[in-house]
Amino acid sequence: MVVLESLKGNFPRHGRIEWIGVRPRKHAAVIARLEVCAQVGAGLAGDHYGGASGARGITLMQSEHLAVMGALLGEPPLDPARLRRNLVVSGLNLAALQGRQFKVGEALLQGTGLCHPCARMEAILGPGGYNAMRGHGGLNARVLSGGLIRVGDVVAAC
């Protein structure tokens, strides 16, 4: 009999960083970047969460969910900047990284929990935006070992 816990470490492939964004201030426009430095206890350089050491130092979003959320809103795939997350990842189920360590470029992160949408998504995405994003909000992570993260970098569970 296969033990469920052993299956949690099996991933069919690695993920890839598709987009990077930082929010310099709360409610400020998201700035897209080609690379960013992850800092231990501080999240991403240039992001307003950068001074915090909490479990939400970095937010990750599933690239494949951009089309789902767009469809739920009657729109094309959503621009990741509208969703205010830091990293957009393709090819890897982010929910499976909860509680796990994973490498992103040069950085080592740990998934700390799901990143649920806030009420602000209703204003940003329009009526029903909050509900369209529920279940698709992504993952929060903390930086265990800092380093450079670039668009195109591999995302791999440890």
What pLDDT score does 145 carry?
Answer: 96
List, for residues 137-147, the tens digit of each pLDDT value: 999 999 999 99
- Work out the mean pLDDT of the chain and round it to a whole number: 92
Domain 16-157: give its CATH architecture. Beta Barrel (2.40)
> Could you give the C-alpha distances from 41 to 81, 136, 151, in angstroms and in order?
24, 26, 22
- Give CA separation, 36 vs 27, 106, 141, in Å: 20, 11, 15
44 three-state secondary structure: strand
pLDDT of residue 150: 98
**Domain residue extents for the chain:** 16-157
Whether 141 contacts 57, CB under 8 Å: yes
Please tell me the least confidently modeled range out of 50-54, 103-107, 120-124, 127-131.
Answer: 50-54
Q: Would the CA dihedral through 149, 150, 151, 157 be positive or negative? A: negative
H or E segment and range at residue 6: helix 4-7
Q: Is the Cβ–Cβ distance between 145 and 12 less than 8 Å?
A: no
The Cα diameter of the chain in Å comes to 52
Q: Output the CA angle 86-90-95, nearest 5 degrees.
A: 75
pLDDT average, residue stretch 98-121: 95
Confidence of residue 51 (pLDDT cuts 50, 70, 90): low
Are 16 and 153 spatial neighbours (Cβ–Cβ below 8 Å)?
yes
Report the C-alpha dihedral over residues 146, 148, 154, 158, rounded to 10 degrees. -10
